[in-house]
Amino acid sequence: MDANTSTALEQALTGMSHQELLNLIINLSSVEADFRRILLANVSISPQILQQQPVSPQVVKQFKRDISKFFDELEERGRYDDYYDNEYDESEEYSELDILLENARTLNLVDQIDVFWHIAICGNEVFEEGEFFIGTPQIEEAICLYGEAVTRLDLPHQQKHNYFDVLIDALSWNICGYGEVTEAIEEALDKICTVPEDFRYLIQKFENSDYERSSDLIAQYYLELGDDENYLRVRQANLEKEKDYLQLAEFWQQKGDREKHLETLEQWVSDLVNRKAQPQSQLNYLYAPRYSSLEDSPILKRLAEHYRQQQDDANYCRIFMTLAEFGKTTLDLYKQIETLGVKLGNWQELKLKLIEFAQASSTNLAEIYLYEQDWDAAVQLAQQKANSYYEESLRILVAEGVKQHRTEASIQIYQQLVQSHIDNKNREHYSIAARHASAIKSIYLSVLNDSAAWQRYITDIRQRYPRHRALQEEFRGL
């Protein structure tokens, strides 16, 4: 909208009475779905106004019919799409459902609850079938709106039981394995919980539930109640994942107990190491995280910062070694530990361990070998991966890294790559083979200064494949 139009419109609206403006907005919201959506998103309708809306079983019935029809049609459409192998996207949203959600928010709160939960039920039924899956964001929104509507009713504790039970039962739905449906259900429970009796009721329910996060929720509810004794009992009996230890450490931090805060963080590190020593069959993958950096582990990051501030190099180094053992032993991390190890006088011992940890990533290991100028180890690693299609970048890394020091080995690696792509017999691979051949040419001319050897190599390729026109075209100019 240009400035003139905006100014004229502002002047016209300013001259209208309150009732005229109101009528204009109501009329626009009645006929323009986009305008109504924006309006509802920016206007908060109070519970008092919503409660003045009449409870209307007929309106709710029509909403439910529309919702069921939407999911039935979506399922039919999905089966047709699946025939063409359309990729499933759990984040996909549907404009038709947006309109139903928006309109339902203007109903009486009791009717809202009925409609929103019907959306959740219909969404789960699609997943119960097991043949077709849909996006979950709007189902998650419906669940959150359900919890919000129940909260706005401002019910006494006893009248909330049914709503709690409905949500807890939903935690076993098939749809909970997708998107953030589980999080939406837990959020709805949190919204409805407003008085101590609510938390105690949920504690009792989850104590008799096989929901995998029961202990986490029970601990959380005890925290809300300010019941430190029972919180510690539950939390300390269920320390499994890093976030469990972190939550307990933050509890001690809030209590001002720095010693127990640090002790709990260190307990996670000790348990991490101890679990690695157990037989692999007893290890749950949740107990063996793989960190890419300190940013991936709140606990290791906090400990590293603590020991850095304390200038405690031994423990600072130990935390970095833990990161290397349970994460990626990158060259940057290797260099950081080298600096500390040299300062502490135990670098050679640490170096052997780091190279062992780096075995998990051939690329990281190759970078370390090249940094250490262990050319033979780097070449041997590349040759071990000679038959691996997925390690081509590693072999190029080594070939480039050793070409000044193990030139013949570098040429051999590139020659193997050239031949493997030629053997694939299509233009795309011939093009890649030509790029590798160009690297060989560079080594022959720039490093060995032996143009005759290069000519023998490239002539041999051309003579071996005289009828491969695409190959000859890709190699032209070399």
Beta bridge partner(s), residue 327: 291
150 shares a domain with 84:
yes
| First-residue to last-residue Cα distance in the chain | 59
- The amino acid at residue 269 is V
180 shares a domain with 84:
yes
140 shares a domain with 46:
yes
Is residue 409 situated within a structural domain?
Answer: yes
End of a domain among 360, 388, 420?
A: 360
pLDDT at 106 over 50: yes
388 shares a domain with 354:
no
Which of 11-15, 123-127, 387-391 has the weakest average pLDDT? 11-15
End of a domain among 174, 194, 214?
A: 194
- Provide the domain limits for residue 100: 32-194
pLDDT tens per residue across span 25-40: 556 555 555 555 455 5
Is residue 201 situated within a structural domain?
Answer: no
396 shares a domain with 278:
no
159 shares a domain with 65:
yes
184 shares a domain with 43:
yes
Is residue 16 situated within a structural domain?
Answer: no
pTM attached to this predicted model: 0.76
466 shares a domain with 425:
yes
pLDDT at 433 over 50: yes
295 shares a domain with 419:
no
End of a domain among 177, 194, 211?
A: 194
73 shares a domain with 173:
yes
pLDDT score for 281: 41
pLDDT tens per residue across span 319-374: 999 999 988 899 999 999 999 999 999 999 999 999 999 998 999 999 999 999 99
180 shares a domain with 36:
yes
pLDDT at 391 over 70: yes
Is residue 301 situated within a structural domain?
Answer: yes
Mean pLDDT, the chain, rounded, equals: 86
401 shares a domain with 329:
no
Is residue 200 situated within a structural domain?
Answer: no
Mean pLDDT of 56-80: 83
pLDDT score for 385: 84
Is residue 225 situated within a structural domain?
Answer: no
Kindly indicate the confidence band of residue 55, based on its pLDDT and cuts at 50, 70 and 90: low
Number of domains in the chain: 3
Kindly indicate the confidence band of residue 286, based on its pLDDT and cuts at 50, 70 and 90: very low
Q: Return the higher-pLDDT residue of 89 and 334.
A: 334
Is residue 216 situated within a structural domain?
Answer: no
Is residue 14 situated within a structural domain?
Answer: no
Mean pLDDT of 179-200: 96
